A and B are shown apart, each in its own frame.
Chain A
Amino acid sequence: MRQMASPFLALLKRDLLLAFRHRGELANPLLFFLIVVTLYPLGVSPEEALLRKIAPGVIWIAALLAALYSLENMFRSDFDDGSLEQMALSPYPLSLLVVAKVLAHWLVSGLPMLLLAPVLALFLSMPGPALAVLELTLLIGTPLLSLIGSIGVALTVGLRRGGILLTLLVLPLYIPVLIFATNAVSAAAAGMPVAGQLYFLAAMLVLALTLAPLATAAALRISLS
């Protein structure tokens, strides 16, 4: 197992280092998330009751679009400069390296949203219990978005203009995540139990964590050949 960890950690470290050296690009999806949410009170209505009602949907839709926006960079530069070829030629399973890449992607795109969300939730006057559930759904949901997205990116990375296709491929798979997550937050705001929705999200995460790396690795091999 020790031997398996070395390429995994090396790749994770490299991706974080690259992200750190490209801080500007990194901030884009996050800024997008921030702007979309803050525009709602200005564009729709500053009325507190209304904002509280739409807050879960607004934050989650913004998070979903920001995740979608950040996806394309996941394998693009590695594909263009031949690093992906070298990864495919590693004797270690490509799916393991994919997990490292997805984890790095989540750490730089999903995690900051998780940290930013409470501020935005307060901004939309979301009540305390709902805020806690919002954080939980984002904690389970954003890695799920990265994992599902990785399959779509891997399939379209060989195409020059894969952007639209990527959205069409990935969006239907994002819908269940959106429905369960917003439903859980709304239920929490109304004081109802949310365990069911959270369990369902968690089950989807486990499923994605098991299957998505294998599918992504297979898709990358197709894109490379």
Chain B
Amino acid sequence: MNGPEPTLQARGLECVRSDSLLFSDLNFSVRAGQVLQIEGPNGSGKTSLLRILAGLTPPNDGEVLWRGENIVRRRFAFLSEVAYLGHQLGLKAELSVEENLRLSLALSGLSFSPVRLSEALQTVGLMGREDTPARALSAGQRQRITLARLILSTATLWILDEPFTALDSSGVSLVEMLLEAHLNHGGLAVLTSHQTVRLYGGLIKLALA
């Protein structure tokens, strides 16, 4: 399943949204140990680009390659290695923190022990909240649940859409710490953010007009 080097490549991507061209002939590549930060004003197509990279939206032209192969053709292999964190968190308000995490990981065929769960919750600052319904948590805490999902997943490629929005300053440094650890384990990430991301290395930037 693991082919050559984990690399995400974009080749000649083009995206048209409601009759206006957001970007065209977009080429880049992200290697293991690198974070690509996509910058640009509102409506410049950052989220659209992330959705194309995750395979949620087909591009109008061009292709996305993972480990050198088209992500549409190698769907299973690609999606087994991706964690996507979108604008909507994908959490059920009526379910507890643990139930939410169990389901979202089961969708990738993964499971975890109670020990790993409490470790992950401790890392994101939700210790002892396993049984709290997501509805009873604040926006920032809910975002922290999705960070716990990243910790528990085995994904190599993280695609994060505005991961800092609802987080306080300790949350921001938590995301940076998680990214750092992820890169050290040979992972890679693509994210959009208006903030400056402080990483020791491996940060590359792409500006959308």
Footprint of B on A, CB under 8 Å? 3, 6-7, 10-11, 14, 17-18, 21-22, 77, 80-83, 85-92, 97, 224-225
Contacts and interface: CB of A to CB of B under 8 A. Distances in A.
A224 B95 CA distance: 23
Contact of B92 (A3, A14, A97): A14
A3 to B, nearest CB: 5
A7 B79 CA distance: 14
Interface in B46-65: 51, 54-58
Contact of A18 (B75, B87, B95, B102): B95
B57 to A, nearest CB: 4
Contacts of A77: 92
Given A7-B107, A81-B91, 18 more contacts: A7-B106, A7-B109, A10-B103, A10-B106, A10-B107, A14-B95, A82-B86, A82-B87, A85-B84, A86-B104, A87-B107, A89-B54, A89-B55, A89-B107, A90-B108, A91-B75, A91-B109, A92-B109
**5 shortest interchain CB distances as A-B pairs:** A82-B88, A10-B106, A91-B79, A82-B90, A90-B107
A72 B163 CA distance: 31
Q: Which of B58, B88, B91, B107 has the most CB of A within 10 A?
A: B107
Nearest to B96: A17
Contact of A21 (B58, B94, B104): B94
B104 A17 contact: no
Interface string B90-130: 11111100010011101111010000000000000000000
Q: Is the interface of A mostly helix, strand, loop or mixed?
A: helix
Given A11-B107, A92-B107, A92-B109, A225 B57 contact: yes
Contacts of A22: 94
B174 to A, nearest CB: 21
Contacts of A86: 84, 90, 104, 107
Nearest to A18: B94
A18 B95 CA distance: 7
A14 B108 contact: no
A10 B90 CA distance: 15
